[in-house]
């Protein structure tokens, strides 16, 4: 039942998006041939003619469209007719193409605001993290640290902890001597090394006998910046993970806890930065126990980045106390989620998040159903609002075949004083539409793989 509710909620977002296009088109007296919910793939569930407009619902519900005479070469609407979209002023076409995005943004805020009024609470996306069990091997440092079941983890290495993912990532980055590091950490350590070793170039081999100084302000860990957004944390990943060379690993073992190292003519300053980025990184953990803060003995994660504890969480809710509070908390929630989405999109485009971590509507629907079952309908509505903002952001990207692509062509038309050549525009649209379909197919198989994988793991 919960999955059906989630399907209907996502269907609502598609309906709202396409209604934005439809209503603005009708407002500017553009003829609309068809208004469709779902993609025209497979059987048609329902179809009805209302005046000159055909309403249709397709079996594959995850999509929608508004069809104009401009899309039909055989249309009986004359080419110079004012009812054609192409004959409307640029500003009117821009409003029509952007109306779906605007509708999704408005819908997202209304959904969050409705939740605030009905629930009288808003998730803070911050959690109290409790230790439910210690599952590490007997030789692990966690046993001698003093940690107990029921402890609330409040701080790791000086940073406040309010998500399970923060705990996992700190542990992962503290994995000692595993021969791996990441680009960001190497770059920061290189800058620190360069600040006290001005004479040495980045990748030039340092002459034998010269001394390299190791500064005290080296980064010992990667700061955790991952938001707890359900759409961003389907799988944990290591950003830009890179392996050390054999020479760098040998160098790492030689310079442990040293302030200076004498060059042997085989390594560069960048090699030293790599070596120092895979040093042992202890975890200093503070917990709350019986109302008192307890500082544990130093903990080390294993080579896989595991501490050896099971965690449970309890979300900290923000109370909504009135109308002003409802509007503010709703805005803050949606703003933070949107900022998180933009960061994730940037990481996707720059390759910091691998494509295997990209998921689509199938897995999100399954997750949404699970959230409704376990957390309640309000969390499902909030997830729907987040998806609505996702749709808005993705559709406004200046990529041909998306709303943003149409807006890009309109901008070019406005600048050059004439439309983009129709044949060129159609070829570009066709190529990008094919790429978009290929991406959707990839994401679909990725979703299916994640869902069926547990069935074959024993």
Give the pLDDT confidence of 165-207 residue by residue, as tens digits: 667 666 665 555 667 777 777 888 888 888 888 888 888 898 8
Q: What is the Cα–Cα distance from 406 to 397, expressed in whole angstroms?
A: 10
Exposed, middle or buried: residue 91 (CB in 10 Å: 0-12, 13-18, 19+)?
exposed
Angle at 181 between CA 175 and CA 183, to 5 degrees: 145
Q: What is the Cα–Cα distance from 176 to 278, expressed in whole angstroms?
A: 7
Please identify which residue in the block is written with the tokens 């793991």.
457
For residue 210, the 8-state DSSP code is -
pLDDT at residue 226 is higher than 70: no
Q: What is the Cα–Cα distance from 242 to 400, expressed in whole angstroms?
A: 34
Residue ranges of the alpha helices (H) in 129-205? 164-173, 183-196
Give the pLDDT confidence of 25-78 residue by residue, as tens digits: 999 999 999 999 887 777 899 999 998 899 999 887 778 889 999 888 888 889
CA distances from 394 to 274, 342, 365, 390, 424 (A): 37, 10, 18, 6, 24
Q: What is the Cα–Cα distance from 261 to 393, expressed in whole angstroms?
A: 51
In the chain, what are the domain boundaries?
88-120+322-456, 127-315
pLDDT recorded at residue 240: 58
Give the pLDDT confidence of 287-329 residue by residue, as tens digits: 999 999 999 877 877 655 677 888 888 888 999 999 999 999 9
Is 0.85 topped by the overall pTM?
Answer: no
- Strand 180-182 to 241-243 pairing: antiparallel
Provide the 10 A C-beta neighbour count for residue 449. 11
Q: What is the Cα–Cα distance from 330 to 113, expressed in whole angstroms?
A: 5
What tokens does 230 get?
A: 């359900």
Q: What is the Cα–Cα distance from 441 to 356, expressed in whole angstroms?
A: 13
């Amino acid at each position: 039942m919960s999955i059906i509710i989630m399907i209907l909620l996502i269907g609502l977002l598609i309906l709202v998006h396409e209604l934005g296009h439809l209503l603005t088109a009708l407002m500017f007296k553009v003829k609309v041939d068809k208004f469709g919910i779902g993609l025209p793939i497979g059987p048609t569930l329902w179809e009805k003619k209302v005046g000159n407009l055909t309403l249709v619902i397709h079996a594959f519900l995850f999509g929608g469209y508004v069809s104009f005479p401009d899309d039909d070469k055989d249309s009986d609407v004359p080419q110079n007719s004012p009812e054609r979209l192409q004959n409307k002023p640029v500003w009117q076409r821009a409003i029509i193409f952007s109306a779906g995005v605007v509708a999704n943004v408005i819908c997202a805020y209304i959904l969050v605001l409705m939740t605030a009024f009905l629930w009288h609470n808003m998730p803070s996306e911050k959690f109290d993290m409790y230790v439910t069990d210690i599952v590490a091997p007997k030789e692990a440092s966690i046993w001698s640290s003093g940690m107990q079941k029921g402890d609330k983890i409040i701080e790791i290495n000086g940073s406040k902890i309010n998500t399970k993912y923060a705990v996992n990532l700190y542990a992962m980055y503290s994995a000692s001597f595993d021969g791996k590091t990441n680009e960001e950490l190497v770059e920061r350590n290189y800058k620190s090394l360069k600040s006290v070793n001005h004479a040495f170039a980045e990748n030039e081999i340092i002459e034998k006998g010269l001394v390299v100084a190791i500064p005290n302000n080296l980064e010992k860990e990667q700061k955790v910046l991952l938001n707890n957004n359900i759409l961003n944390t389907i799988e944990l990943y290591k950003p830009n993970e890179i392996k050390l060379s054999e020479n760098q690993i040998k160098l790492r073992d030689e310079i442990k806890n040293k302030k200076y190292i004498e060059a042997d003519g085989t390594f560069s300053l960048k090699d030293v930065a790599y070596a120092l980025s895979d040093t042992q990184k202890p975890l200093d953990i503070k917990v709350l126990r019986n109302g008192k803060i307890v500082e544990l003995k130093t903990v080390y994660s294993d080579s896989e980045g595991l501490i050896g504890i099971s965690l449970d969480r309890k979300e900290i809710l923000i109370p909504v106390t009135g109308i002003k509070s409802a509007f503010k908390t709703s805005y803050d929630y949606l703003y933070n989620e949107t900022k998180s989405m933009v960061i994730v999109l940037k990481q996707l485009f720059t390759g910091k998040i691998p494509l295997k971590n990209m998921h689509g509507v199938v897995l999100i629907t399954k997750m949404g159903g699970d959230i409704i079952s376990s957390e309640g309908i309000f969390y499902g509505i909030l997830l729907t609002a987040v998806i609505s903002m996702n749709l808005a952001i993705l559709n406004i990207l200046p990529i041909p075949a998306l709303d943003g692509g149409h807006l890009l062509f309109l901008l070019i038309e406005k600048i050059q004083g004439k439309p983009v050549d129709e044949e060129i525009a159609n070829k570009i649209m066709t190529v990008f539409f094919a790429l978009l379909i290929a991406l959707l197919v990839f994401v679909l198989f990725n979703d299916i793989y994640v869902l069926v994988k547990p069935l074959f793991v024993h």
